[in-house]
Amino acid sequence: MKILVTGARGFVGKNLVAELNNRGYKDIYKFDKDTDKSLLDEYTKDCEFVFHLAGVNRPKDEKEFMEGNFGFTSELLDLLKKHNNGAPILITSSIQAERDNPYGKSKRAGEELLFNYSKETGAKVLVYRLPNLFGKWSRPNYNSVVATYCYNIARGLDIQINDPETELTLCYIDDVLDEFIRALEGKETRDGKYCLVPVTHKIKLGDLAERIKSFKESRKDLSIPNMNDELTKKLYSTYLSFLPENEFSYDLNMHCDDRGSFTEFIRTPDRGQVSINISKPGITKGNHWHHTKNEKFLVVSGKGIIRFRKIDSDEIIEYKVSGEKLQVVDIPTGYTHSIENVGDTDLVTIMWANEAFNPEKPDSYYLEV
């Protein structure tokens, strides 16, 4: 299928083209404000579906609203009519079309052009009044408060919150893409004469700012955002896309001594914590037991022996572990346990505990195996 995408280098267009390629659509005509206008005449001859994403939302002069959102749409439709091309056309409008401001008026005028075009030609039109969009490749300080907050917070810059109680309706770019692919396949989601993206999220402006700030702090407290919450998961992915390119990495606090090191990697309130333990050759660590805390050990490099003894028994149980064969060893409660490096290189063990360490209630009791 030959697909025309106007505004192909914009936020939605860039994501859409990438997703179309991912799904095997290769004949994509990409048009944007820097493309030679003569190519639009060529593209409208044989395209079989049109994603009309081009528009103006931050002009230097208000008259550019109508020129970009009405005028260019009119040009596009005239070319389709010129070539007698009845391909379905999808246009991205805005919830602002309901408002009586220059931007809203221009978007509403573009919508009416499409509805009249459909009546005149019989072509299928799909008009999406989109709410506030967010996701990777969006532009900060342009038309997305999420992008602006992510960009500024990631760089330690101030953000502006006019009214923290203002409620936003947000829509994630991947949910937009899923709906657009459904539309391409003739399975669009409709609400009367308009189409819609069925998945949206509501959040207050102040809460949005605090949530994004928590993502920055998570590097310090080693927390992981609540990925069970769909909006949080999507916001976190968006935030990471705005990290400065020289700040993808961050240091961890390594507790080092002559035995090796112990470094906490991740901690969560409901899924425990993950740490990295390095033991030098000949070193034994552990020799303690827990009432309730339980752990999983995974040796990823080196050779070792994990030993267990039930605290009221003399029987010692041994498990040989090696980075050559990845095995998870559960550390049950009520067993004192240790891990010994029996190789000639560092023993590297990933350790998961079911709860984050609490110094006021460590639940660790010294007892040699």
Single-letter residue type at 194: Y
Token output for 247: 């700040």
Question: Would residue 250 show up in a list of annotated catalytic residues for this protein?
Answer: no
Phi first, then psi, for residue 17 (nearest 5°) are -60, -40
100-to-106, 180, 270 alpha-carbon distances in Å: 10, 28, 48
d(CA 270, CA 254): 24
- Are 115 and 79 in contact by the 8 Å Cβ rule? The answer is no
CA angle 95, 97, 102 (to 5 degrees): 125
CA angle 87, 92, 95 (to 5 degrees): 145
- Which of 103, 149, 151, 236 is an active site residue? 103
d(CA 97, CA 150): 27
195: CB partners within 8 A, 6+ apart: 90, 126, 127, 128, 179, 183, 188, 189
Neighbours of 279 (CB within 10 A): 24
Distance of CA 321 to the CA centre of its chain: 36
Residues labelled catalytic: 103
